[in-house]
Each structure stands twice: as C-alpha cells, then as structure tokens.
Amino acid sequence: MSCPRIILAGTNSGSGKTTVTMGIAAALSARGLAVQPFKAGPDYIDPGFHSAAAGRPCRNLDTMLLPRGSILELFSRSTAGADIAVIEGVMGLFDGAGALDERGSTAHLAKILAAPVVLVVNGKAMARSAAALVAGFARFDRRVAVKAVIFNNLGSEGHYRILREAVETETGIPVLGYLPRSESIALPERHLGLTPAAEHGAIGELTERVRRLTGEHIDVDRLVSLAGAAPDLPAFRPSLFSSPPAAEARIAVALDEAFHFYYHDNLDILEHLGAELLPFSPLRDRDLPAGTEGIYIGGGFPEEFAGPLAGNAPIREAIRSAAEGGLPVLAECGGLMYLAERLEDRQGAVHPMAGVFPGVTRMGKRLQALGYCTGRLERSVLPGAKGAALKGHLFHWSLYDSEGSDHLLSLRLEKNGKVFRDGPAVKNAFASYLHLHFGTNPAPAKRFLRTAAGRAGRK
C-alpha cells in the first residue's frame, strides 16, 4: 500500500500555501497521525516550518534536479511509517521551467506521484470570479487531479460562503474551508523570502495558532479522505540507496541558526555512503567535534549573524587550521561566505570570517543569481576531476570577490544561458554558490567521503 498523500498547490506565489500546509500538517499531527511533509522544488525555508508543524523532517522533491525514479524512491523511503504525506507545491500549480515547459512545476510532481491536488486560493477582493479561476486551473491539464479548494486571507465567514457557493455550484469542485486574514499567523519575510523557522523564538506558538485556525475553519477529515483515495505509487527501480557505501568518515556538519540550508536527503545519502554526521555550531561551539575527518557547511544566513560568527574566533581558527592541514571541506553558498576572509554586510560593516579562502563576500542590493545551473570543474578539486559536470540551484544576494585567486567552477544558468564563475579551492577545501543535491550528484558525495577516509588512513 502506498502512503496517502495530498498536494497543496497555489494559484501563484503568495497565495498562502505555506501557511495552509503548515496548518494542515499541524492539525493532522495533533490528531496523532504520523505526518511526512514535503516541499516541491529547491526551497530551504518553507521546510523548516513544515518540520516544526509535523514533527518530522520535511523533504524536498525537485523534478528539475531529480529524475522520476528518484522522486518516487525518495517519496517512498521518506513515507515509511507515515500515515499521510502533505506536500507543499512551488509557485503556481503550473509554473515550471518555461512558458511551455512543466518540468519543476507542482503539476509535474503531482503527475509523477499520482497525487490529488488541493488548490489554495487567495480569496481577498474576489467573489464569483473565484469560480472562473478554479475552473481554469481544473481544466487546464486534465492529467492533474484538482480535487478541492481551500481559500486563504478571507475577512469574514460571509465572504467565504459566497466563494464556496460560487465555486461548488459552477465547477462541482468541493471547497474544504478557509483561513481567515490574521496578523497572528503572518510569516515574516526578508530578502530571501520568509524568515526561517530556526530564527523564530516562538515557532511553537505560531504553529499552534495556525493549527487552531485550521481546525476551526478547514474540513480536515475530508482532506484526509481525499489523500486516502490516491492510487498506489507507480513502479520504480531504487537506485539512490542501493549503491554500496563509499567510505567511512566522520563529517562535521554546520547546523545552527546561521547554517541550516540542507536537503535532508543529502544528509541521509551521506550516511548511507558511510558518513557519521557530527553536528556543530559555528555560532556557539569553540572547536570542531572530536574526531572530525571532513567538514560540510551548507547555506544559510551568515550575513544575519556576521557579528556572532566573527566573535567566535576559536572555531574560525579551528576550521582554517583544519583546511590548511588538508582536511576536506565542502561548502555551499552561505558556507562560501563564511569560509572567505571577510564578509561585508548590507550596512557596509566588514566582519572577519574563517579565512580558508582569500577575498571578501559583499551583500548586494539586488538578487545576483536565481535558477538551476549546470557547472563544469576547470581543475580536479574535492567534488570531482577536471571537466566533471555538476548540476544544482543558485539563489544568492552576495558576491564573492576572490581578489585575484582562481575560480574553478564555470556555471551556466539554464533559463537564460548566463555564465558565472566561482569555486575557490585550497588544498582539499572547495566552496561554491551552487547548492548540490547528492541524488543528482552522487559522485561529489562519494569523493568527499573517500578523501576524508583516505586522509584518516582508511580506504
């Protein structure tokens, strides 16, 4: 039997699907159900809210980075022991790689998973037109099963009754309820989108408020019935977790408020390949975990914590010394910013960082890069041999100025062909703005662990 599943899809970005998904996950979890949350696409921030709501790590399902079989494998593996899967879509339901390209869209994911879709609609300033909107989404691609609607951002019960009558009468699609307009459940934002759940001191209180409103205004029982009616998953051949281990190695993973942008499946893949993961905090820990044989520093918001990061000189020195000694270090985006010599924040203040790589990262006034990329290594470094291809996602506001040192990774944005270069490397340390998924790029993960094990005297 496949896990019951439901996709919460928006008509557009900003429809409220993150809040609705969070509320549904929290409401189901409060009933004693084991809820496995997922996020479509490469987002790192929304999963934090869903993890808090469900009490299980949220996983990403990205059809731009992962082939169909890998999507099915990750979904099946992650839902083992779960009663229901709640999946938040990305952007609008049909928004994908291009004007006529569904890759990467919520609709594409819904087809792969054979999952029913609940359309989340921002109903503010709308009446009968909501029926036309819903009808268009339901009929646009009949292979996508739009089974119900939830409204968001409504000012009154009376407004909801008008919307429900219009949609149900004109389209025959049931409306499951709504979330009222309320500042108490608004999710704060900043330059990369929502402020991460890891920075919310009162995430539990926020989750409870959303859960309560969901229980009061949304027919959760009917949603569970829709999820339970999903057919069995299509057949697939496991590949990601069927390969033999690469090498045993103890890998320190930076994990705190400043660094928490990781695909959870990346951590699972590292463990499957032989890693023992040792979480540490560049904000609070004074040294690397005992026995560290490699360091993995993901993305995050080092610019928001530049002062405390700069103030923790002992861990900066420990990381720099380890890298200078040849310890393998793999860093992405925020990790690159931390490993440079200096970080210049949005106010122009300059903070000393770990200094593994020469140069400075500067926060820009606008987004520097956004989208899926393919890259090619120009020299043999930690992630691969010269000429090796990497594929991932870029999303950053800062720029790295290497001050004359080499950039060893050539990147090309898929959407417009724009070319970037980054990828500083010193001994066995390598960093880039590119976020890798090890399901797409298993070779860098294996090479990372083998390098770490080799230095430790193991093969």
Report the pLDDT value the prediction gives residue 204, as an integer from 0 to 100: 85
Report the pLDDT value the prediction gives residue 203, as an integer from 0 to 100: 83
Query: What's the token pair of residue 87?
Result: 């999946």
**3 part of the active site:** no
Report the pLDDT value the prediction gives residue 200, as an integer from 0 to 100: 60
Amino acid residing at 65: L
Tens digits of residue pLDDT in 210-243? 999 999 999 999 999 999 999 999 999 999 998 8
Q: List Cβ neighbours of 422 (8 Å cut-off, separation of 6 or more).
A: 336, 400, 407, 409, 411, 431, 432, 433, 434
Report the pLDDT value the prediction gives residue 243, as an integer from 0 to 100: 86
Tens digits of residue pLDDT in 413-454? 999 999 989 999 999 999 999 999 999 999 999 999 999 999
Q: Which of 379, 384, 347, 376 is nearest to 362 (CA)?
A: 347
CATH number of 249-455: 3.40.50.880
The answer to whether the beta carbons of residues 19 and 213 sit under 8 Å apart is no
Q: In whole angstroms, give the CA distance from residue 294 to residue 246.
A: 14
Report the pLDDT value the prediction gives residue 102, as an integer from 0 to 100: 97
The answer to whether the beta carbons of residues 140 and 106 sit under 8 Å apart is no
Q: Give the burial string for 108-124 (b: 16+ CB within 10 Å, else e).
A: bbbbbbbbbbbbbbbbe
Place of tokens 């200078």: 324
Report the pLDDT value the prediction gives residue 404, as an integer from 0 to 100: 76
Domain boundaries, the chain: 5-228, 249-455
Selecting from 3.40.50.300, 3.30.43.10, 3.40.50.970, 3.20.20.220, what CATH number does the domain 5-228 have?
Answer: 3.40.50.300
The answer to whether the beta carbons of residues 154 and 179 sit under 8 Å apart is yes
Report the pLDDT value the prediction gives residue 190, as an integer from 0 to 100: 53
Identical topology for domains 5-228 and 249-455: yes
Place of tokens 């459940």: 185
Within its chain, how far is the Cα of 295 from the centroid? 21
Report the pLDDT value the prediction gives residue 193, as an integer from 0 to 100: 59
Query: What's the token pair of residue 420?
Result: 């970037």
Q: In whole angstroms, give the CA distance from residue 228 to residue 137.
A: 22
The side-by-side arrangement of strands in the sheet containing 398-401 is 350-352, 340-344, 357-363, 398-401
Report the pLDDT value the prediction gives residue 346, as an integer from 0 to 100: 92
188 CB-contact burial (10 Å; exposed 0-12 / middle 13-18 / buried 19+): exposed
Q: pTM here? A: 0.94
The answer to whether the beta carbons of residues 329 and 347 sit under 8 Å apart is no
Report the pLDDT value the prediction gives residue 188, as an integer from 0 to 100: 67
Q: Which of 3, 58, 333, 373 is catalytic?
A: 333
Tens-digit pLDDT string for the chain (459 aa): 689 999 999 999 999 999 999 999 999 999 999 999 999 999 998 999 999 999 999 999 999 999 999 999 999 999 999 999 999 999 999 999 999 999 999 999 999 999 999 999 999 999 999 999 999 999 999 999 999 999 999 999 999 999 999 999 999 999 999 999 987 777 766 555 567 766 665 788 899 999 999 999 999 999 999 999 999 999 999 999 988 999 999 999 999 999 999 999 999 999 999 999 999 999 999 999 999 999 999 999 999 999 999 999 999 999 999 999 999 999 999 999 999 999 999 999 999 999 999 999 999 988 899 999 999 999 999 999 999 999 999 999 999 999 877 889 999 999 999 998 999 999 999 999 999 999 999 999 999 999 999 988 876
The answer to whether the beta carbons of residues 77 and 241 sit under 8 Å apart is yes
Q: What is the DSSP string of 150-168?
A: EEEEES-HHHHHHHHHHHH
Helices and strands (H, E) in the chain, number of each type? 13, 26
Alpha carbon separation from 3 to 109, 183, 232 (Å, rounded): 16, 34, 8
| Half-sphere exposure in the Cβ direction for 5 (13 Å, CA) | 32
